[in-house]
Amino acid sequence: ETLPALDSLRKAGKAKRIGITGYDIKALRMVCERSPVRIDSVISYCRCALHDRSLFDSEFLDYLESQGIELINAAPIAMGLLSQKGPPAWHPASDELKARASAAARYCEAEGVDLAKCALAWVLSQPRITTTLVSCVNMEQMNSNLSVLKNGLSPNEMACTASLLRQWFMNNTHWEGAELEKYRAEKAAQKTKRIVFVFAASAVALALLAALRKKSR
């Protein structure tokens, strides 16, 4: 229902392009393939970064290129995972991946380089990734991002980036589906609690009813 409605706005000149986001790679491709209207762009989060290069291995990028759909690669810092500060508490990455990212940050600190800067530069160096969406919370981060874009990395920073890929981010690791599984587990646990509560309440009610009947006799 939503896509045809957006297409009507596009035909009326009230919108220029239609894009989709918020799903994993498989779901994004399925939407593109089944959509009754033309999809112009797709935003994919955290699937082309130091910790996870599977965007290149999934054939999704090939598909987008063959269909003329623009890819916007978002979150090259992996929502704070690839930073000196580390990820926020809500970050869905596994404890194992967080530990590797923390070790990588300590290595970068010892070498006098910034992990986030290396992570951003690596993404910007990928020729098939034409658009990268990165956020910043202050001018210091903005200036650092612009410096990477304009000046690239120093020889030491490039050497550190290569070491990061060899030592801490050798394999693709992502968290797609982890939040959904957690949500389903929580809902299942809540359902179980409700069933137990209803059962207990029913048992208490039956016991009271039996007691009242016995007393009435």
pLDDT in tens, 57-113: 778 999 999 999 999 999 999 999 999 999 999 999 999 999 999 999 999 999 999
pLDDT at 162: 97
70-74 and 132-133: which strand pairing? parallel
Q: What is the CA radius of gyration of the chain?
A: 25
Order of strands across the sheet with 19-20? 19-20, 41-45, 70-74, 132-133
Contacts of 151 (CB under 8 A, 6+ apart): none
- How far is 192 from 187, CA to CA, in rounded Å? 9
**Which stretches of 117-199 are assigned E, i.e. beta strand?**
132-133
Asked if the model's pLDDT at residue 189 lies above 90, the reply is no
pLDDT at 119: 97
pLDDT at 30: 94
Asked if the model's pLDDT at residue 180 lies above 60, the reply is no
Asked if the model's pLDDT at residue 201 lies above 80, the reply is no
